[in-house]
Amino acid sequence: MQVPFNKPLVLGTEAENISKVLESGKLAGNGGFTSDCHEVFKRELGFKSAFLTTSCTSALELSALLLQIVPGDEVIVPSYAFVTTANAFASRGAKIVFCDSRADHPNIDENAIEQLITPKTKAIVALHYGGVPCQMEAILKVAKKHSIKVVEDNAQGIGSTINGLKAGGIGDFGAISFHETKNVHCGEGGAFMVNNPEFVDRAAVIWEMGTNRAEYRKGNVPSYGWVDIGSSFYPSELNAAFLATQLEQLGLVNERRLKLWQTYYEELSILRDLGSFSLPEIPQGVEHNAHTFFLITKSNKERTQLIDHLSKNGISASFHFQSLHKSSYFIDKHDGRGLPNADRFCSCLVRLPLYHTLSTDKQKHVISLVRSFYEK
């Protein structure tokens, strides 16, 4: 039995929307389906101001532009993260200051942030790993104390909440990914949330390639022109049309994934209790979207052996991020601090298959093979 790590979600209604775009003859971005996506962000997810983007990376780059990051500014970023989480700010000249993960979860250690703050610190980036929100209340408290902005890298967490607040809509800015590996997607895409009203108007200008086109569309100016820096951030209507139909089903998609996640958790808890490995810890007040199910092995060697065992039996499992502070690009720029939790997740975290159409039989097969590895 072959079980892939992921299958991009296809609900069966995407083609109808795409046909409508083709029939309209208007394929460029920022059209009707883009507006539909924006409405879902506001109506269903409660985001105050949202902009569809070409990727989560471009959304993070938008935040860097709005924060006016310049060489010499410092940005605190979790080391256990995808490279673009840091690159969005490093590409503007920022000095990246890496923070360790929590001991019990790959998320940034909220208690380690304040000691990294200097007069040059411009922002804190909180990545919600696996769709589990960071401890935002503590992070915002530190940020407010030092007058620092907070950017949520919510690439994996659409629909997740903490204390009733939607991930991505809590900090000053939020970024979401709609890459094909995410719960809902459009192949490649993203969204940018502006939660701080101070930045809403300028965000619209930057998103519109540095023009005041939005004001022109509203009839507030007779013509539009170049008024600020900006870039082409929005995707085509084909992407927006594909995404729109999936966004409408987000609740059902996340519900299905949560059932699969919970089955993994319940069935593997026996081995966890025996000390075979660690399982994800979900903080109180968090409702996650089951983007990822992972376990933490005792060593890198054990992880390699487990992945090989699963692979030989048709199961595709995967490790995840590398510690960015040890990357070939950054290692000579790091200040030498040890970040042991990030390194442990880098070496020992393994993700099991989890996707919308994963059948009961295939999930049981994965679970039985994990058990056979540890019970031999």
Other C-beta atoms closer than 10 Å to the C-beta of 140 total 18
Return the pLDDT at 288: 98
- The pLDDT profile of the chain, 376 residues, written as one tens digit per residue, is 899 999 999 999 999 999 999 999 999 999 999 999 999 999 989 999 999 999 999 999 999 999 999 999 999 999 999 999 999 999 999 999 999 999 999 999 999 999 999 999 999 999 999 999 999 999 999 999 999 999 999 999 999 999 999 999 999 999 999 999 999 999 999 999 999 999 999 999 999 999 998 888 888 888 889 999 999 999 999 999 999 999 999 999 999 999 999 999 999 999 999 999 999 889 999 999 999 999 999 999 999 999 999 999 999 999 999 999 999 999 999 999 999 999 999 999 999 999 999 999 999 999 999 999 998 7
Return the pLDDT at 189: 98
Q: What is the pLDDT of residues 153-207, one digit of tens each?
A: 999 999 999 999 999 999 999 999 999 999 999 999 999 999 999 999 999 999 9
Residues 6+ apart with CB under 8 A from 232: 209
- β-pairing, 50-53 vs 294-296, is unpaired
Alpha helices in the chain (DSSP H): 14-24, 32-43, 56-66, 83-90, 136-145, 200-207, 213-217, 237-247, 250-273, 300-312, 340-348, 360-375
User: Residues 56, 185: contact at Cβ < 8 Å?
Assistant: no
Return the pLDDT at 344: 98
* Closest C-alpha to 88, from 68, 114, 111, 59: 59
Bridge partners for 101 per DSSP: 108
Evaluate whether the domain defined by 250-375 bears CATH number 3.40.50.410.
Answer: no
pTM value surpassing 0.75: yes
Domain boundaries, the chain: 14-247, 250-375
User: Residues 138, 110: contact at Cβ < 8 Å?
Assistant: yes
Residues 6+ apart with CB under 8 A from 250: 40, 44, 158, 159, 183, 184
Q: Which CATH fold topology does 14-247 show? A: Aspartate Aminotransferase; domain 2 (3.40.640)
